[in-house]
Amino acid sequence: MVDRQQGYRQNEHDNNASSAEESGYKVKRHNDLHTPPQVLVFLIVGAIILAAVGSFFLRSKLGPTQDPELLKNIQSGLSFHLVKDQAMSAIQLEPVDPQTELILMQPATKSTSAVHFKVNKEPALKGANVKRAYIAKDEMGSDVIRLSFDETGAAKLAEVTGENIGMQLAFIFNDMVISAPVIQARIVGGEAQINGRNIALIFEDIQPAEQKR
């Protein structure tokens, strides 16, 4: 009888010990699964860095932020016309066929005189085909306006420049010649640039009212 009770107690002791070991294993396992605060901080910082890097590359790919007001004015006020002739005065460009030709002026600046251009009345390309326009800097640090055309405009730009190498293409904004560069080669890819001192006329037109006062 005594041996049986001792055996029962021994079994109970063994069961309790086994339960304690299992409980300790579970606690230890739970503790092992708990992420230390240092690791959490490291993961959060890493996520922030990755987000910043991703944002940088996305901005680099998309380019500078689009100014909606600039794009609106470019689309409504800009056109591109092939140049037939140019002179210091409009009289020197006569006669003019009012059905097919226009006489437009490139305003004078502090360092240049005004120039008059005889251009085709029908635009070779319209600002309505510009899908993106933004202000950038050229190699000399001067302001330029870079344009991206839609599919139709890109195809037309390639056609016009390919067929008229050596001629001038006037960039006209609100009936004023901003610049009239000579076409050097066929332009593919739908990208163009407006530069020169007279692009200030475009900037002035889009300045906020408080800056014009």
**Which CATH number characterizes residue 112's domain?**
3.30.1360.200
Give, in degrees to the nearest 5, the angle at Cα 58 between 56 and 64. Answer: 85
- Is 95 or 19 the better-scoring residue by pLDDT? 95
- Which amino acid would we find at residue 91? I
Determine the Cα–Cα distance for residues 28 and 5; give it in Å rounded to an integer.
34
Whether the link from the prior residue into 208 is cis, omega within 30° of 0, is: no
Asked which of 77-81, 103-107, 143-147, 162-166 is least confident by mean pLDDT, the reply is 143-147
Q: Is the pLDDT of residue 34 over 60?
A: no
Which residues partner with 78 through β-bridges? 173
Determine the Cα–Cα distance for residues 155 and 158; give it in Å rounded to an integer.
5
- Residue 151 and residue 203 in one domain: yes
How many domains does the chain divide into? 2
Domain assignment of residue 177, given as a range: 68-208
- Residue 84 and residue 185 in one domain: yes
This prediction's pTM: 0.66
Asked which of 62, 85, 104 is the last residue of a domain, the reply is 62
Asked which of 62, 82, 104 is the last residue of a domain, the reply is 62
- Residue 32 and residue 77 in one domain: no
Tell me whether residue 134 is in a domain: yes
Tell me whether residue 213 is in a domain: no
Asked which of 24-33, 67-76, 91-100, 162-171 is least confident by mean pLDDT, the reply is 24-33
pLDDT band at 41 (very low <50, low <70, confident <90, very high): low
